[in-house]
Amino acid sequence: MKVEGLRRTFPGNISVLAGLDLDVAPGSFVALLGPSGCGKSTLLRLVAGLDRAEAGHVTFTPTLERTPGERAPIAYVFQDAHLLPWRSVLDNAALPLELTGVPKAERQAAARAVLEQVGLGDATERYPAELSGGMRMRASLARALVTHPRLLLLDEPFAALDELTRGRLDDQLRALWRKLGMTVLFVTHSISEAAYLAERAVVLSRRPARVVLDRTLELPTERTAALRTEAAFAREARLLNEALEQGEHW
Amino acid sequence: MNRSTLRAAVPPLVALVVLLALWEGAVRLLEVPRWLVPPPSAIGAVGAHEASALLGGAITTGRSALVGFGLSAVLGVLVAVLLASSRMVERALYPYTLFLQTVPIVAIAPLLVLWFGPGPRAVAVSSFIVSLFPVIANTLTGLRSVDPSLRDMFRLYGARRLATLWKLELPAAMPHLFTGLRIASGLSVIGAIVGEFVAGFAEGSAGLGILVLGAYRQLRTDLLFAAVLAASVLGLVLFGAVSLTGARLLRRWHPSAQGT
Query: pLDDT of chain B along its 260 residues, tens only?
Result: 577 778 888 988 999 999 999 999 999 999 999 999 999 999 999 999 999 999 999 999 999 999 999 999 999 999 999 999 988 888 888 888 888 788 888 888 889 989 998 889 999 999 999 999 999 999 999 999 999 999 999 999 989 999 999 999 999 999 999 999 999 999 999 999 999 998 877 666 789 999 999 999 999 999 999 999 999 999 999 999 999 999 999 988 887 776 55
Q: Are A129 and B258 in contact (CB under 8 A)?
A: yes
pLDDT at A211: 93
Position A64 pLDDT exceeds 80: no
pLDDT at A69: 61
- Partner residue opposite B171 with nearest CB, options A82, A86, A100: A86
Read off the pLDDT of residues A200-233 as tens digits, 9 standing for 90 and up.
999 999 989 999 999 999 999 989 888 989 999 9
pLDDT at B219: 92
Interchain CB contact of B174 with A (< 8 Å)? yes
pLDDT at B4: 78
DSSP character string of B156-214: HTT--HHHHIIIIIHHHHHHHHHHHHHHHHHHHHHHHHHHHHHH--SSSS--HHHHHHH
Interchain CB contact of A78 with B (< 8 Å)? yes
- CB atoms A72 and B158 under 8 Å: yes
The number of C-beta contacts closer than 8 angstroms across A and B is 57
**Average pLDDT in the A192-205 region?**
95
Looking at 1.10.530.10, 1.10.3720.10, 1.10.10.10, 1.20.1050.10, the CATH number of the domain B34-257 comes to 1.10.3720.10
Interchain CB contact of A50 with B (< 8 Å)? yes
- Kindly report the three-state secondary structure assignment for every residue of chain A: CEEEEEEEEECCCEEEEEEEEEECCCCCEEEEECCCCCCHHHHHHHHHCCCCCCEEEEECCCCCCCCCCCCCCEEEECCCCCCCCCCCHHHHHHHHHHHCCCCHHHHHHHHHHHHHHCCCCCCCCCCHHHCCHHHHHHHHHHHHHCCCCCEEEEECCCCCCCHHHHHHHHHHHHHHHHHHCCEEEEECCCHHHHHHHCCEEEEECCCCECEEEEEECCCCCCCCHHHHHCHHHHHHHHHHHHHHHHHHCC
pLDDT at A16: 92
pLDDT at B17: 95
Read off the pLDDT of residues B145-159 as tens digits, 9 standing for 90 and up.
999 999 999 999 989
Whole-model pTM: value is 0.85
- Partner residue opposite A99 with nearest CB, options B163, B172, B258: B163
For all residues of chain A together, what is the average pLDDT? 91
Read off the pLDDT of residues B39-95 as tens digits, 9 standing for 90 and up.
999 999 999 999 999 999 999 999 999 999 999 999 999 999 999 998 888 888 888
pLDDT at B8: 84
Give the confidence band of A182 by pLDDT, cuts at 50, 70, 90.
very high
Mutation for B interface: A99, A126, A136, most B CBs within 10 A? A99
Give the confidence band of A65 by pLDDT, cuts at 50, 70, 90.
low
Angle at B128 between CA B125 and CA B131, to 5 degrees: 150
